[in-house]
Amino acid sequence: MPTSSLETQLTDLQKVAVVEISGADSLEALEQLRVSYLGKKGELSQILKGMGKLEAGDRPRIGAVANDVKEVVQHALEQKKADLQTAQILAQLESETLDVTMPGVYLPQGRVHPLNSMTDRILDTFVGLGYTVADGPEMETDYYNFEALNTPPDHPARDMQDTFYLPDGNLLRTHTSSVQIHYMEENDPPIRIVAPGRCYRRDTEDATHAAVFHQIEILAIDEGLTFTDLKGTIKIFLEEMFGSVPIRFRASYFPFTEPSAEVDVQWNGRWLEVLGCGMVDPNVLKAVGYDPEVYTGFAAGFGVERFAMVLHQIDDIRRLYTSDLRFLRQF
């Protein structure tokens, strides 16, 4: 075997290896190159197999060339490995850099609907007075919506004009007063509840009427409760809502309370009716099996929309239901 051919093979290998190594774009690719050139079965070993066929005198020189080639390739590998590692660290640092001066990503912020925030505010006030939040079904029987609430069959409140009757004889509750009956059936006195909920009436919709609206019902039952307790509770509640404005109780009539009153607050120079209330009628107590000789109580009911409209100066009840973002963003 001529020494010149081995020597060219070695120098060619070095040339090609150095070019390929400098072109390696990852540590994995570099490792593959190392194996293919310097590994046990690599190209260098393959070439050196030919050494055995050399003249003994030529071996030291070719051996020295082979060593040089090996060193050059090894050096190129180490150099490239260091470069790639540095590049990798830089890239990682780059990708992990946090630029605190960048503007944030702003997600549109949601808001609580004015009817819900008003409900929450009212519930909070009564919870603060020791009341428990209760609820009841929106579909009712005649019994819970009317009969147990001392509303006789010929009472105008039962009029087909006012109530949504369902084909099966049930109805959509016209007020949250029905929750009173459910709660008293399930619980013994003393009772202090505040019950929010949706109500339904066959009203023609206009700026102040909606067929679906929201009420909050108050009920307190105990031994020895009097109209004074009712007045004090309502006064505290309305002061919480409207501030210290003049309040007046007007004698009124509701089937489920006796005596009954409507309450007005003075607002922007006018008397504004805000709720109905009264002492729970003994017939209502009897309907749920309470002894009216032992227990008395008071109740009140009012529309949430009315409070929201007055306190937020909303001119049309329908704005509360149309989900117009230009309106809702104001709250």
Which residues bind to ligand DAH, rule: CB under 6 A?
175, 177, 217, 254, 257, 276-278, 299-301
CB-nearer residue toward ligand DAH: 58 or 142: 142
Residues sharing a CB contact under 8 Å with residue 34, sequence separation 6 or more, in sequence order: 77
Taking the CA atoms of the chain, what radius of gyration do you get in angstroms?
A: 44
The three-class DSSP label of residue 195 is strand
User: From the CB of 144, what's the least distance to ligand DAH, in Å?
Assistant: 12
Q: Which residues sit opposite 277 in a β-bridge? A: 261, 300
CB-nearer residue toward ligand DAH: 47 or 219: 219
CB-nearer residue toward ligand DAH: 150 or 177: 177
Rounded CA gap, 258 and 281, in Å? 5
User: From the CB of 267, what's the least distance to ligand DAH, in Å?
Assistant: 20
Q: What is the phi/psi pair of residue 217, to 5°? A: -110, 140
CB-nearer residue toward ligand DAH: 9 or 150: 150
User: From the CB of 199, what's the least distance to ligand DAH, in Å?
Assistant: 7
User: From the CB of 149, what's the least distance to ligand DAH, in Å?
Assistant: 8
Kind of pairing, strands 132-133 and 191-200? parallel
| Stretch (H or E) spanning 264 | strand 257-267
Q: What is the phi/psi pair of residue 14, to 5°? A: -60, -45
Sheet with 212-222, side-by-side order of all strands: 132-133, 191-200, 212-222, 296-303, 270-280, 257-267, 247-254
User: From the CB of 218, what's the least distance to ligand DAH, in Å?
Assistant: 7
Among the listed residues 262, 48, 2, 253, the one whose alpha carbon sits nearest the alpha carbon of residue 151: 253
The three-class DSSP label of residue 36 is helix
The three-class DSSP label of residue 286 is helix
CB-nearer residue toward ligand DAH: 242 or 249: 249
Q: Which residue is nearest to ligand DAH (CB)?
A: 301
User: From the CB of 257, what's the least distance to ligand DAH, in Å?
Assistant: 4
The three-class DSSP label of residue 42 is coil
Among the listed residues 152, 153, 164, 221, the one whose alpha carbon sits nearest the alpha carbon of residue 198: 164
User: From the CB of 286, what's the least distance to ligand DAH, in Å?
Assistant: 17
CB-nearer residue toward ligand DAH: 65 or 212: 212
User: From the CB of 178, what's the least distance to ligand DAH, in Å?
Assistant: 9
Rounded CA gap, 146 and 167, in Å? 18
Among the listed residues 241, 293, 295, 299, the one whose alpha carbon sits nearest the alpha carbon of residue 272: 241
CB-nearer residue toward ligand DAH: 42 or 197: 197
CB-nearer residue toward ligand DAH: 13 or 219: 219
Residues sharing a CB contact under 8 Å with residue 164, sequence separation 6 or more, in sequence order: 171, 172, 200, 201, 202, 211
User: From the CB of 170, what's the least distance to ligand DAH, in Å?
Assistant: 18
CB-nearer residue toward ligand DAH: 9 or 257: 257
* Residue 187 structure tokens: 């619980």
